[in-house]
Amino acid sequence: MMKLDAKIPSGDISEKWTRHKFEMKLVSPANRRKHQIIIVGTGLAGASAAATLGEAGYQVKSIFYHESPRRAHSIAAQGGINAAKNYQNDGDSVFRLFYDTIKGGDFRAREANVHRLAEVSTSIIDQCVAQGVPFAREYGGTLANRSFGGTQVSRTFYARGQTGQQLLLGAYGAMMRQVDAGQVEMLTRREFMDLVVVNGQARGVIVRNLLTGELETHMGSAVVLATGGYSNVYYLSTNAKHSNVSATWRAYKKGALFANPSFMQIHPTCIPVSGDYQSKLTLMSESLRNDGRVWVPKQAGDKRSPTQIPESERDYFLERKYPSFGNLVPRDVASRNAKTVCDEGRGVGNSGEAVYLDFADAIGRLGPQKIAEKYGNLFEIYSNITGEDPYKLPMRIFPAPHYTMGGLWVDYHLMTTIPGLFAIGEANFSDHGANRLGASALMQGLADGYFVLPYTLANYLGNTSLASVSDQADEAKATRRSVAEKIDRILGVKGKTPVTVIHRRLGRVMWNFVGMSRSKEGCQKAIQEIRELREEFWSDCAVPGDANTLNHSIELAGRVADFLEFGELIAKDAETREESCGCHFREEYQTPENEALRNDDAFAHVAAFEYQGEDKEALRHQEALVFENVKPSQRSYK
């Protein structure tokens, strides 16, 4: 069996990264311009990497399916970004952020990566401030902080409820500066179709020009995937409509290992589903849980309006069960408890699939003005969608798929098992274990792009001999041919069922059997049903039009085809991980208090899957996780 080597540097955890930065190879400024680096995606990770590599002197090609880098889904992140600045003098430190992240991830993340993340977190804030990101400030002019789910310190920096937008616009500005300088070339409206591997090294990509339908080949010294997460395999999620798994999935089919695919975070504070035609779920930042109190009626089936239910008949279940963290327990705990009370028949709203998030106390304590300052835009989003006024009535919220901790397996250098193929941001699996803490996704995306990849990519280039290859290389031509064949195959089906209909059905299967809680039987059922849907897709999908023009239906179909394969890997991973940890809750493995029951003896490892060919079982590899600095314990937020 392949031995997964994470290439973790030796030495004390707090010195690994500093020392390793010295040990790694550099590329001299004069040689950098000889390297063409291909970066796919322009979210926080992709845009920050493109900007930083451009500044360093590399020739960067930035490839993305949006019309502009600023459209990437990082733009929608609301709540904030963590950094171990300890500006609040409340006991925060690099080690505490490291500790909280390992513990929050339920001891399924790699210590060395997480420590490095905590170390560079402080530089990220400095960098973003220097770019003119308008973070929230105190009257004295210093940066403001707030606390976020799963922590007891205030280390989250924010820009109202639009932190992701402001950070992405900062990275986008930095990237556009390099576009102006000629260091970064933007290839807009291009969909990644496949990876070109030459002599075992990632050397290029095949993309489809979405305006003309033309297939293009772009070659380079290395390829970086910054293509985000795959929550849309559940159809309804908080992700943007076009977010997909295709780039990472196609890299997997080219030999990159896919790690922990079943680790999917359900976000507790989303607006509940209202109808059959719903196209997505809208998240509201969990910073709302700082002041909102979560409750349901004590009595099952209580259909009174919330304002009619007296205090004594309300169950503030998070405060009751977790007195020290209360409403600020981590996302997986908050989500699962919401599901439990709804399963008990105590859910609210028309569907009974919602709980209240009530601001009456906070409005009484702080006044509506102060609440508007903190959460104004979130309240606006809510009333816009539901037609209800959250200043008067409690919000109704329910968990929804939001973020995927799983992704391409990468070593300490963020390189996949294909040399020269890197994965950064949500596209990789590395830092969040089985559950991500709030405000840590933005931190990781920017850490990878600004401060990690620029070093580790140079190390790869400095250590590797790269033969010169052209876009006419046999491997490039063959890959391009197979891409064209796949498009023809999709167009050749000429069936009756729109791909969106099949996608919606896949989503229901995924949510029912490999969603918030899983069982062996459910996983097997999911695999069965996904196979049937896949068959239906390839015999009856309706994809109108032809390939040589702007044809949005082809894009949708290609992505759904990949989700239909990928969903099965999620179910397989969920089935084979016979424990509960973080987001992954197996009904068979729980404590008497219904908390996740880990099995560290058998499952303190990363599960990384290797593609074996069409319709063949993927091979499951393990990377053992060693905890030298934080002793695994049962998480307790009581």
Partner 1 sequence: MTADNKKMKISLKIWRQESPQAAGHFEAYELDDVTPEMSFLEMLDHLNEKLVSEGKTPVYFESDCREGICGTCGLVINGIAHGVGPRKATCQLHMRSFQDGETIHVEPWRAKAFPVIQDLGVDRSAFDRIIAAGGYVSVNTGNAPDGNSLPVGKTTAEQAFDAAACIGCGACVAACKNASASLFVSAKISQYALLPQGQPERARRAGAMVAQMEEEAFGSCTNETECSAVCPKGISFENIVRMNREFLRSQFGSTEIE
Q: Minimum Å distance from CB 497 to partner 1?
A: 7
Cβ atoms of residues 74 and 199 within 8 Å = no
**What number of other Cβ atoms are within 10 A of residue 415's Cβ?**
26
Across 70-104, b (16+ Cβ under 10 Å) vs e yields bbbbbbbbbbbbbbbbbbeeeebebbbbbbbbbbb
Q: Minimum Å distance from CB 609 to partner 1?
A: 29
**Which residues have CB under 8 Å from 353's CB, separation 6+?**
272, 273, 342, 347, 398
Tell me the C-alpha distance between 534 and 539, whole Å: 9
CB hemisphere CA count around 228 (13 angstroms): 29
Nearer to partner 1, 221 or 237 (CB): 237
Cβ atoms of residues 563 and 232 within 8 Å = yes
Complete edge-to-edge strand list for the sheet that includes strand 222-225: 184-187, 59-63, 36-40, 222-225, 421-423
Tell me the C-alpha distance between 377 and 380, whole Å: 5
Tell me the C-alpha distance between 362 and 49, whole Å: 41
Maximum distance among all Cα pairs of the chain, rounded to whole angstroms: 74
Tell me the C-alpha distance between 193 and 601, whole Å: 40
Nearer to partner 1, 367 or 545 (CB): 545
Q: If we measure between CA atoms, which residue out of 424, 76, 36 comes closest to residue 247?
A: 424
Please report the DSSP string for 219-231 in residue order.
Answer: E-SEEEE-----G
Q: Is 635 a catalytic residue?
A: no
Distance linking the first and last C-alpha atoms of the chain = 42
Say which residue the tokens 């949005």 belong to. 552
Q: Minimum Å distance from CB 25 to partner 1?
A: 18
Q: Minimum Å distance from CB 364 to partner 1?
A: 25
Nearer to partner 1, 285 or 327 (CB): 285
Q: Minimum Å distance from CB 129 to partner 1?
A: 4
Nearer to partner 1, 24 or 136 (CB): 136
Nearer to partner 1, 78 or 337 (CB): 78
Tell me the C-alpha distance between 145 and 76, whole Å: 20
Nearer to partner 1, 352 or 498 (CB): 498
Tell me the C-alpha distance between 420 and 516, whole Å: 35
Q: Minimum Å distance from CB 176 to partner 1?
A: 4
- Is the dihedral angle over the CA atoms 127, 128, 129, 130 positive or is it negative? positive
Nearer to partner 1, 134 or 368 (CB): 134
Q: Minimum Å distance from CB 583 to partner 1?
A: 23
Nearer to partner 1, 258 or 451 (CB): 451
Cβ atoms of residues 241 and 279 within 8 Å = yes
Q: Minimum Å distance from CB 360 to partner 1?
A: 19
Say which residue the tokens 């008067």 belong to. 392
In the beta sheet, which residues pair with residue 40? 63, 225
Q: Minimum Å distance from CB 614 to partner 1?
A: 27
Nearer to partner 1, 329 or 357 (CB): 357
In the beta sheet, which residues pair with residue 400? 267
Cβ atoms of residues 163 and 443 within 8 Å = no
Task: For residue 38, give the DSSP letter.
Answer: E
Nearer to partner 1, 126 or 578 (CB): 126
What DSSP element (H or E) covers 423?
A: strand 421-423
Which one is catalytic: 32, 96, 190, 331? 331
Cβ atoms of residues 336 and 516 within 8 Å = yes
Q: Minimum Å distance from CB 95 to partner 1?
A: 20
Q: If we measure between CA atoms, which residue out of 46, 36, 17 comes closest to residue 427?
A: 46
In the beta sheet, which residues pair with residue 295? 356
Structure tokens at 411: 């070593």
Q: Minimum Å distance from CB 92 to partner 1?
A: 14
Tell me the C-alpha distance between 85 and 153, whole Å: 11
Cβ atoms of residues 111 and 13 within 8 Å = yes
Strand 59-63 relative to strand 184-187: parallel, antiparallel, unpaired?
A: parallel
Nearer to partner 1, 57 or 255 (CB): 57
Q: What amino acid positions are annotated as catalytic residues?
A: 331
